């Protein structure tokens, strides 16, 4: 069952369209993350789906209803979508409980449930049972966003659209709240679309990811598909750090030879100019022999280099290694690398590279 379907969205604000021919589908109860750089068209796409701006040549279905199509343009308030914005957009003069119940009937819902009971249920769902009588300014930023989510879920919408909802929060709270919100949406079995510029957020929270580049979808699929099998260098580099290695030759079995030796790929290739390898795939072993850092290197690879720089982050370290001809390869290892600038190391690759 499709929770949200978009076909051929084109939208903008006059002049050249910001979003061009965007299509995707989200299954009921699943979360799609639309990720991209600032100005790529993410928020414009969200506004088009919500009905806030006009669209061209498009089909939009929310649940089992056509809300935009030939001769059809359902107004935003009748689309059965909830919106959560970056700042929550709570009414400062209303209590938390009245904010959550703002779009609900005054006394009872259509099924006879008292509105107050629905508000209490939602506040419990987002972990804020004890703050109904407070005002928004008395809450932390994370609590305000939970209230905004409860308000968006209050009328049981077919879909919830989240527009950079965690970007104003500090990194630790952003990650924690993101996973809490994801669980609330799962428990409510609500279809959701999250717009974000944060690739870690998109990969860790979403069931399906669509990367927007200049108003078009560059690639869409599962988080693992996009990260491990990027369609092009733009996708690969946006979703994380990469080593881009020119292909020097192709082996008879189709594996490419690079400055790091032969790098296995998931399927033989007949032509490729470059191979992408993530830093966490690069394995370093100090010379003379020492325990490998990050995994066991494949046998037969004796590519050597010298440590040029080390950046320590606590949970991991980034190590830049200079190979012959001044080629720099970046490795990511857990914790302290145990290396020092100037150390000679063997360099190899774990897993498969992605030919481009």
Measured CA to CA, the distance from residue 157 to residue 62 in angstroms comes to 10
Pick the last residue of a domain from 208, 223, 238. 238
Pick the last residue of a domain from 184, 212, 238. 238
> Based on the domain organization, do 62 and 81 belong to the same domain?
yes
> Based on the domain organization, do 206 and 255 belong to the same domain?
no
Rounded mean pLDDT for each run of 10 residues along the chain, 356 residues in total: 89 88 95 95 95 88 93 93 92 95 81 86 93 95 94 94 91 88 93 95 96 96 95 94 93 90 84 91 84 51 89 95 92 93 94 91
The residue segments making up the domain with residue 119 are 2-238
3-state secondary structure the chain: CEEEEEEEEEECCCCCCCEEEEEEEEECCCEEEEECCCCCCHHHHHHHHHCCCCEECCEEEECCEEEEECCEECCHHHCCEEEECCCCCCCCCCCHHHHHCCCCCCCECCCCCEHHHHHHHHHHHCCCCCCCCCCHHHCCHHHHHHHHHHHHHCCCCCEEEEECCCCCCCHHHHHHHHHHHHHHHHHHCCEEEEEECCHHHHHHHCCEEEEEECCEEEEEECHHHHHHCCCCHHHHHHCCCCEEEECCEECCCCCEEECCEECCECCCCCCCCEEEECHHHEEEEECCCCCCECCCCCCCCCCEEEEEEEEECCCEEEEEEECHHHCEEEEEEECCCCCCCCCEEEEEECCCEEEC
- Asked whether the beta carbons of 90 and 41 are under 8 A apart, the reply is no
> Based on the domain organization, do 201 and 318 belong to the same domain?
no
> Based on the domain organization, do 250 and 300 belong to the same domain?
yes
Q: Give pLDDT tens digits for 269-328.
A: 778 889 999 999 999 999 875 555 655 544 445 799 999 999 999 999 999 999 988 899
> Based on the domain organization, do 202 and 123 belong to the same domain?
yes
> Based on the domain organization, do 350 and 219 belong to the same domain?
no
CATH number at residue 292: 2.40.50.140
Q: Which of 225, 171, 157 is nearest to 200 (CA)?
A: 171
Residue 106: per-residue pLDDT: 78
> Based on the domain organization, do 53 and 155 belong to the same domain?
yes
> Based on the domain organization, do 168 and 216 belong to the same domain?
yes
CATH number at residue 132: 3.40.50.300
Pick the last residue of a domain from 200, 222, 238. 238
> Based on the domain organization, do 109 and 223 belong to the same domain?
yes
> Based on the domain organization, do 311 and 204 belong to the same domain?
no
Q: Give pLDDT tens digits for 223-250.
A: 999 999 999 999 999 999 999 999 999 8
Please state the φ and ψ torsions of residue 142, each to the nearest 5 degrees.
-65, -40
With b for 16 or more beta-carbon neighbours within 10 A and e for fewer, the 116-137 pattern comes to eebbbebbebbebeebbeebbe
> Based on the domain organization, do 152 and 95 belong to the same domain?
yes
Split into its structural domains, the chain has a count of 2
Q: pTM of this prediction? A: 0.89
Residue 293: per-residue pLDDT: 61
Task: List beta partners, residue 249.
Answer: 257
> Based on the domain organization, do 199 and 69 belong to the same domain?
yes
């Amino acid at each position: 069952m499709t929770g949200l379907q978009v076909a051929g969205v084109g939208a903008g604000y006059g002049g050249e369209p910001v979003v061009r021919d965007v299509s995707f589908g989200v299954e009921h109860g699943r979360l799609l993350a639309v990720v991209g750089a600032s100005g790529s068209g993410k928020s414009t796409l969200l506004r088009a789906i919500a009905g806030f701006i006009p669209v061209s040549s498009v089909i939009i279905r929310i649940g089992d209803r056509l809300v935009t199509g030939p001769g059809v343009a359902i107004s935003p308030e009748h689309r059965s979508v909830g919106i959560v914005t970056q700042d929550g957009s709570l009414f400062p003069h209303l209590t938390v409980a009245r904010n959550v119940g703002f779009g609900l009937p005054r006394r009872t819902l259509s099924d006879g449930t008292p509105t107050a009971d629905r508000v209490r249920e939602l506040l419990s769902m987002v972990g804020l049972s004890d703050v109904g009588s407070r005002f928004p300014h008395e809450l932390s930023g994370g609590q305000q966003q939970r209230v905004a989510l409860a308000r968006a879920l209050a009328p049981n919408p077919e879909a919830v659209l989240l527009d950079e909802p965690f970007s104003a929060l500090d990194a630790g709270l952003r990650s924690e709240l993101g996973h809490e919100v994801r669980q609330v949406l799962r428990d409510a079995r609500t279809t959701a679309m999250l717009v974000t510029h944060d690739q870690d957020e998109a990969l860790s929270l979403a069931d399906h990811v669509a990367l927007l580049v200049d108003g078009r979808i560059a690639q869409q699929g599962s988080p693992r598909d996009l990260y491990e099998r990027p369609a092009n260098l733009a996708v690969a580099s946006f979703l994380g750090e990469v080593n881009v290695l020119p292909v020097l030759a192709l082996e008879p079995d189709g594996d490419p030879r690079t400055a790091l030796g032969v790098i296995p790929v998931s399927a033989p290739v007949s032509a490729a100019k470059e191979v992408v390898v993530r830093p966490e795939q690069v394995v370093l072993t100090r010379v003379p022999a020492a325990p490998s850092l990050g995994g066991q290197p494949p046998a037969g690879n004796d590519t050597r280099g010298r440590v040029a720089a080390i950046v320590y982050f606590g949970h991991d370290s980034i190590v830049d290694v200079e190979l012959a001809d001044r080629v720099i390869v970046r490795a990511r290892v857990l914790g302290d690398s145990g290396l020092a600038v100037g150390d000679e190391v063997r360099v190899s690759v774990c897993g498969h590279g992605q030919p481009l």
